[in-house]
Chain A
Amino acid sequence: MLRKLIKYEFQATARYFLPMYLLLLVFAGLTHLLISVSFSVNETLRTFLVEIPSAVMSFAYVAGLVGVFVITVLLVVARFYKNLLGNEGYLSFTLPVTPMQHVWGKLIPALVWGIAGYTVMILSIVILAMDANTIPYFAQVFGSLGEAMMREAPHSWILFLLLLLLLIVGILHAYLEIYAAIVVGCQVKKLRILAGFGAYVGFSMVEQLLMSIGLTALVMLPDFPANVYNLFRYMQTAEDAAYMVLEVMVGCLLLMNIVFAAAYYIVVWQLLRKRLNLE
């Protein structure tokens, strides 16, 4: 059942995401084209034919980057609210499916689109920067960077992996926070959207509070992070120990994200299970 839910969720959202991503890549391509042409056109024509359009195009591209981000968040909110808690919820919640399958059915596609969004953003930057000279240059830089990392710091791939994981968990955390705020907002009868906003602000404040308490506690530890470094220093070389300190820090961040995400998951799960009340 979850697979079917995911399939239909992709169908419902692809109509928005695919054209949006395509548009961003086209904007990047056009901007790239206009900028590269501007070097080969004569002075007088340049202003009208190239400089103004390329300025406009660059602006459009930047707006596109921001737009992708904003629209992704809006769609995550709209799909969850409309399809589960609005009129369409009457169909969704009469399917022989558990509430949590519904949540995963929204979350997994949203995560995939989120990652795709980042990928497309990076791709668009590559398009913007690429030409005959830069491609081999980039390849060379990244190649040697990789080599150097493997040679000098065998630990770095773990760090890289942790950062990637942090990205994914961070997205899940952000979406689950939104879902939790929506579900909490729907516990009231009127002004549900406003209540949802309120809940979101409340959640963020609680997170901030907990995080600052945690950080304060950490800083209060004697000689942090030197202690951690020294701990690892007994076992490893200086570089490795430094990496390990970084890894521990990213790991803590990761753990925190997981804890928050799990908390929101429980809020969504319990409220949908026990207090679902469609208008």
Chain B
Amino acid sequence: MAWNLQSDRPIYAQLVEQLRRMIVTGVYPAGSKLPAVRELAVEAAVNPNTMQRALVRLEEEGLLYAQRTSGRYVTEDNEKIMEAKEAMAAELISGFVSDMMRLGYTREQTIRLLEKKREG
């Protein structure tokens, strides 16, 4: 999995997004163990403290949990992961819809275009 960090936004926020995406898409499946902070930091070529903060944030969201001795794991709660997935989908859709509206399409026209795309 390649990390893709933009230079004009806080790295922390981008790490949270990309880690969440990795969990949702199953790069790190439910219940699996996450690499150590330092390894992840090296992989993403970012500051270890920043990576640490991003992981703590995902713990707070409930997508990760830390086991005192053995490290960090992805939650086994599939519902939680689905929730995150749906939240991401909702965000994508609303972004897409507002882009389409800016182009001058109504909501209905957008849906029709999508259906046409599916048929074609």
A–B interface present (Cβ within 8 A): no
